[in-house]
């Protein structure tokens, strides 16, 4: 007889049942979910920008050196982009057609 229960939901030694991992609401299938209500103060890393745009990280770096792409800035030695700036950039691209 096959046991159809999920092994990840099995009680632990102490009787606790682990909760299933719920992905961050901002992400869906590894790509940042589009939300026009992104907080203006939310900062994204290079990984988050690349995931949202669906391009490799290296592409974002190349765009930055050529002046293309959403405007980013440095916070110390780290690159950051405002979520609202990246979203606005993609909306602008849509309207250029």
Categorize the per-residue pLDDT at 37 as very low, low, confident or very high, splitting at 50, 70 and 90. very low
- Which CATH number is 39-97's, of 1.10.10, 3.30.2310, 1.10.1660, 1.10.3470? 1.10.1660
Angle, helices 83-95/46-53, rounded to nearest 10 degrees: 30
Residue 93's Cβ-side half-sphere holds a number of Cα atoms within 13 Å equal to: 10
Predicted TM-score (pTM) of the model is 0.59
Categorize the per-residue pLDDT at 66 as very low, low, confident or very high, splitting at 50, 70 and 90. very high
Q: Residue 17 above 60 pLDDT?
A: no
């Amino acid at each position: 007889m096959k046991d159809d229960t999920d092994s990840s939901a099995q009680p632990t030694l102490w009787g606790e049942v682990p909760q299933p991992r719920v992905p961050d609401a901002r992400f869906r299938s590894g790509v940042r979910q589009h939300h026009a209500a992104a907080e203006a103060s939310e900062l994204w890393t290079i990984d988050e920008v690349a995931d949202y745009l669906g391009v490799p990280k290296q592409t974002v770096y190349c765009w930055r050196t050529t002046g293309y792409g959403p405007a980013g800035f440095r916070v110390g030695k780290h690159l950051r982009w405002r979520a609202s700036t990246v979203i606005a950039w993609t909306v602008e691209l849509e309207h250029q057609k």
